[in-house]
Amino acid sequence: MAGNVSSPSNNPETTADNVTPLGQANASAQPRPAATDGPEGIDLAQYTDHRGFAGNDNPFDDGGVEMLLDLHILLEALVEDGYISQRQAEDILIAPRTKRELSMHPLEIIASREYENRRFGNKSLDLETLTLWLCARSGQDYHRIDPLKINVNAATEVMSYAFAQRHNILALEVADDYVVIATGQPYMVQWEGMLTQTLRGRRIRRVVCNPADLTRYQLEFYTISRSAQKAQESGMEVSGITNLEQMLELGGLKSPEANDAHVVNIVDWLLQYAFDQRASDIHIEPRRDKGLIRFRIDGILHHVYELPSAVNTAVTSRLKILGRMDVAEKRRPQDGRVKTVSQDGTEIELRLSTLPTAFGEKMVMRIFDPDVLLRSFSELGLAGEDHQRWHNMTHAANGIVLVTGPTGSGKTTTLYSTLKQLATDEVNVCTIEDPIEMVEPAFNQMQVQPNIDVTFASGVRALMRQDPDIIMVGEIRDLETAEMAIQAALTGHLVISTLHTNDAPTAVTRMLDLGVPAYMIKATVLGVMAQRLVRTLCPHCKVEEPVDKEAWQLLTRPFRVKQPPRVYAPKGCLECRDTGYMGRVGIYEIMPMSEKVSGLVKTEIELDELRKTAFGEGMRTLRLSGAQKVGAGLTTIAEVLRVAPNSQDL
């Protein structure tokens, strides 16, 4: 479904040019902001020993006549700067051009050879490096396109697709007094003069970018903005999107796919784009006068795109159809589910939910990437002694194992990954979940449905008649569910479930609070694991820094832990969208219900004593588990302090 987003059939029409060259003003004569020493923090000087090409005599500067980059001249200059050998350059020159190569940028042809970078020995000569070199050689600013930072509507209004294509350029930013335009051809300048006419006094800031990115985003941006525009136009012809919906209500007089290919295009693009950007959620929000699309990436929302209100409604409707939801129903929240295949062939599941808001129906799609939900324990950051403890608890024949933490602390991933390991052919693994986050063929999964009286408790009761070995209960939030879980454990089943508590010891208090007698807890609970997710430092840009002694003590107290020789701080680069972090890993506090710990479980429980005893038996706090990750250079003290609760003063 979400494939082929950038197939040529989606090509925007290459018809009328909206840029007409008038007069003779020449933008290139206007003062440009001086090239800083490495826009985006990159020191371009290291990429070349020469300015211009072939020494000081710039072969492209042919008295103001435009020049396209020439493979021969580029190769010569690359040899001169020590990137490739003479022999390699000749190899490329004499090789016959394939049909595809004829339409490629010369730097793409060179990059496709994947030569070793002779100047910087450690990596291959890729297109990005070649682009940086081209910038250094031509003395022009470098820019790496981050599609999430671009206002697509504004950018595509600067010029027509035909004009952008013909001149190999793309607008990236439209400010009040300037426009940033990217090109892969530093010696093409004619377009500046033509474009100036339509910019109403804005200056042109020229940057050079990776030619492959340029082609890709040029096509994507114009396709999506044209689809949005066409969808709006077609919607207006039939007096608003409501008509489309009424038609669907009548039982599909016309298939919606055939009816509005533009909306289909937008949805396909949106999904593929979200997968590419590693987004975990897609928000489609109606606002007063427009629709807003945002992605959540590594826990933070990013503004992606704006749609006209009518198109926004049509996109939501299309997704509701895909999710088999009631398209006509807009006043009640609804849930749905869609399975799709990303371009690289991974099956991805999406959970859809709608909510009526003041300006219309808001939709949120949670993306369940099986690679994220099912991970190995080492990927989860569960290693060494902790992993051994978890293994021991979950390999018992019967009893209750609890995972605690707030929403978004990675409990589901831990449960799925653990169950997946336990689900062999010899055992029956059943789950009752609210909702089912990922459909896993190895489990028998059931979803809580309060409207037909399928609750956690009644679900467990039903599962018990299904000859289960292992039961996963999504969450224990009432006494009835707790009692069912205990009954299952007492009758020889392993029950794995979650609780909302801050740390491992308070799980016991929580069970008591629900009304479970202490002796029942002692008889069934095998252990508790509390967990949190901390963001991991971006490996591309993290920087060493000295350890802040006070912060380290705050992190590790009440224990005395040797300070690591060095820690790392986030910096921010293009790879991590300037956040300094990339991906997340778990930190854990594991409390097995040992004889000693169990002995302290009573109605008037002494939580501090319980905690102290557990520490005595080797339990580490969440913060201590985090300290280990800090010492390993994976995350920062601040990040652990942010997500992990206070260690208790003992």
Other C-beta atoms lying within 10 Å of the C-beta of residue 50: 13
- Distance of closest approach, residue 526 Cβ to Zn ion, in angstroms: 41
Residue nearest Zn ion (C-beta atom): 538
Contacts of 5 (CB under 8 A, 6+ apart): 220, 223, 265, 268, 269, 272, 273, 343
Nearest partner of 525 among 560, 559, 499, judged by Cα = 499
Would you list the DSSP string of 332-352?
Answer: S-EEEEEEEE-TTS-EEEEEE
Q: What residue has token string 């069970």?
A: 511
Contact 189, 169 (CB under 8 A): no
Q: Which of 282, 280, 287, 258 is nearest to 270 (CA)?
A: 282
Q: How far is the CB of 572 from Zn ion (least distance, A)?
A: 6
> What is the dihedral sign for C-alpha 391, 392, 396, 399?
negative
Nearer to Zn ion by Cβ, of 44 and 541: the residue is: 541
**Which lies closer to Zn ion via its Cβ, residue 279 or residue 576?**
576
For Zn ion, the closer CB: 97 or 540: 540
Least distance (Å) between residue 378 CB and Zn ion: 23
Q: How far is the CB of 543 from Zn ion (least distance, A)?
A: 10
Q: Contact 597/613 with Cβ under 8 angstroms?
A: yes
CA angle, residues 594, 619, 431, in degrees to nearest 5: 70
CB-wise, 105 or 535, nearer to Zn ion? 535
Question: Measured from the CB atom, is 538 or 601 closer to Zn ion?
Answer: 538
Cβ atoms < 10 Å from Cβ of 18: 12
- Closest CB 573 distance from Zn ion, rounded Å: 4
Q: What are phi and psi of 428, to 5 degrees?
A: -105, 110
Residue with Cβ nearer Zn ion (43 or 233): 43
Residue 16, by phi and psi: left (phi above 0), alpha (psi -120 to 50) or beta? Answer: beta
Cα separation of 216 and 389, whole Å? 49
Binding site for Zn ion (CB under 5 A): 538, 540-541, 573, 575-576
Q: From the CB of 127, what's the least distance to Zn ion, in Å?
A: 20
- What helix, strand, coil percent values describe the chain, rounded to 5? 40, 20, 40
- Cβ–Cβ < 8 Å for 644, 627: no
DSSP code for 156: H
Angle at 438 between CA 434 and CA 440, to 5 degrees: 115
Residue 584 CB, nearest distance to Zn ion (Å)?
Answer: 15
Nearer to Zn ion, 115 or 581 (CB): 581
Report the residue number, 396 or 543, with the smaller CB distance to Zn ion.
543
Smallest separation, CB 144 to Zn ion (Å):
12
Burial class of residue 91 (count of CB atoms within 10 Å of its CB; 0-12, 13-18, 19+) = middle
Instruction: Identify which of residues 485 and 576 has a Cβ nearer to Zn ion in the complex.
Output: 576
Q: Which residue has the tokens 């396909």?
A: 268
- Rounded to a whole number of angstroms, the minimum distance from the CB of residue 280 to Zn ion is 19
Q: CB-wise, 538 or 644, nearer to Zn ion?
A: 538
Q: Cβ distance 416 to 472 under 8 Å?
A: no
With respect to Zn ion, which residue has the nearer C-beta, 126 or 469?
126
The CB-of-146 to Zn ion minimum distance in angstroms stands at 12
Q: Which is nearer to Zn ion, 50 or 540 (CB)?
A: 540
Of 416, 280, 432, nearest to 351 by C-alpha is: 280
| Number of helical H runs and strand E runs in the chain | 26, 18
Q: Which residue from 3, 1, 10 is spatially nearest to 220, judged by alpha carbons?
A: 10
| Distance of closest approach, residue 570 Cβ to Zn ion, in angstroms | 8
Please answer whether residues 153 and 293 qualify as being in contact, where contact means their C-beta atoms are separated by less than 8 angstroms: no
- In the bound state with Zn ion, the residue whose beta carbon lies nearer, of 59 and 583, is 583
With respect to Zn ion, which residue has the nearer C-beta, 100 or 540? Answer: 540
Compare residues 522 and 571 and give the one whose CB is closer to Zn ion.
571
Distance CA 551, CA 565 (A): 14
Smallest separation (angstroms) from Zn ion to the CB of 568: 11
Strands 444-447 and 429-433: parallel
CB of 300 to Zn ion, least distance (A): 14
Whether 180 contacts 205, CB under 8 Å:
yes
Q: How far is the CB of 41 from Zn ion (least distance, A)?
A: 11
CB of 574 to Zn ion, least distance (A): 7
Query: Quick one: 522 exposed, middle or buried, by C-beta within 10 A (0-12, 13-18, 19+)?
Result: middle
